[in-house]
A and B are shown apart, each in its own frame.
Chain A
Amino acid sequence: KQEVTQIPAALSVPEGENLVLNCSFTDSAIYNLQWFRQDPGKGLTSLLLIQSSQREQTSGRLNASLDKSSGRSTLYIAASQPGDSATYLCAVIGWGGYNKLIFGAGTRLAVHP
């Protein structure tokens, strides 16, 4: 059974720091991995999608890497801003259709001015 773990559970940093959020999964046979952002009480916003054949994806200040063999993904946030404060969720999709997302518990990020 696939399990997804995110470390740290919570993070509080001053503005301007470069951040690393970690995601690990137990079954390396994944189809792809998706990173989301969720503001309190809101829906999920897709940040980056990494296909199983890819090693990384970039969007603006965000960079996500994937190492299937070790069961890890990392979300790197450069030059953090207070507007980045949110919960960040990673989710893996296994093979077999329907693209069922299996989520980690998330990392709650607070960036203070």
Chain B
Amino acid sequence: DTEVTQTPKHLVMGMTNKKSLKCEQHMGHRAMYWYKQKAKKPPELMFVYSYEKLSINESVPSRFSPECPNSSLLNLHLHALQPEDSALYLCASRENDEQYFGPGTRLTVT
């Protein structure tokens, strides 16, 4: 099973809402990633978790809060987002040198 799942597929939220994105993999990978992708742009790294500990935070605003409860689950908590945060949020996991991506969550902030 080389699948990374993400829920929800689509999310619309207001600027005062609190929501969470979920990512799950059962491949035993110990590194997981969050990326943000704007329309017609390549993905940009947000966070890297390695062995359930945050390893890289690419200067992402604090309104994005990652959480890694266990080795197969990665959450992204959202609070007080701005319209410019609307994007496709992609999760990935890594085995050896190869990254496997989920289908993404399309987020719209109104």
Q: How many residues of A contact B (CB 8 A)?
A: 24
- A96-113: which have CB < 8 Å to B? 97-101, 103-106
Is the CB–CB distance between B43 and A103 below 8 Å?
Answer: yes
Interface size on B, as a range, is: 20 to 34
Given the known interface contacts A100-B48, A105-B41, the answer about A45 and B94 at a Cβ–Cβ threshold of 8 Å is no
A104 B31 Cβ-Cβ under 8 A: no
Known contacts A98-B48, A98-B50, A100-B48, A49 near B42 by CB under 8 Å: no
Within 8 A of B (CB), among A7-29: none
CA distance A46 to B31 in the complex (A): 17
Interface residues of B (CB under 8 A from A): 4, 6, 31, 41-43, 45, 48, 50, 55-56, 88, 90, 92, 94, 97-104, 106
Please report the C-alpha to C-alpha distance between residue A62 and residue B48 in the assembled complex, in whole angstroms.
Answer: 30
Chain A residues contacting B41 (CB-CB under 8 Å) are 105
Chain B residues in 8 Å Cβ range of A100 = 45, 48, 56
A-B contact pairs, 12 of them (CB 8 A): A41-B88, A43-B90, A43-B101, A49-B97, A51-B97, A93-B97, A99-B31, A99-B94, A99-B97, A99-B99, A104-B42, A106-B42
- Return the 9 tightest CB-CB contacts between A and B, nearest first: A103-B42, A44-B101, A43-B103, A43-B101, A43-B104, A49-B98, A98-B48, A32-B97, A43-B102
